[in-house]
Amino acid sequence: KKGVLPRFLKSEQVPTVNPGPVYKAVGKTFKEEILNNDNDISMKFYAPWCGHCKKLEPIYKSVAESLKANTKLKFYEIDATKNDVEGHSVTGFPVIKLFPGKNKTNAITFEGERTEADIILSLIHISEPTRPLYISYA
């Protein structure tokens, strides 16, 4: 449309290698990877300098490892200081948002304790009833 500038959103480069169990999301691919599929998504918004984020990192990775047998549940993280995501602003760090597979427009902000047990329980609660969660114990 003439005279209208497209909205600029910050984004890191798309990772060339993204092995998981916690995948890296960036602003450029957020819509494609997170919103345009029917997977349940757990997304951690973080800042690399944040002490609470650093403390959450191994817990979040452990949750992802414990639930990796669930093919319709994916774990992502995004550096919110380097990537903008339209419609999902974050004012503090870290923030975990849960994007249910069939209702991505109504993301649920995780407000429990940042423990492995609380995060898993919240995922069981929001996951679709037809998708039981399988937990692997190391």
Q: pLDDT for 15-32, tens place per residue?
A: 898 888 999 999 998 988
Per-residue model confidence (pLDDT) at position 136: 58
The share of the chain scoring above pLDDT 70, in percent, equals 86
Question: What pTM was estimated for this model as a whole?
Answer: 0.86
Given strand 73-79, what is the order of strands in its sheet?
A: 22-24, 73-79, 40-46, 95-99, 108-109
Query: Residues 93-131: pLDDT tens digits?
Result: 999 998 888 888 888 888 888 999 999 888 877 665 555
Residue (of 80, 71, 8) closest to 46 by Cα position? 80
Residue 75 pLDDT greater than 70, yes or no: yes
The mean predicted confidence, pLDDT, of the chain is 85
Residue with token string 């209702």: 103
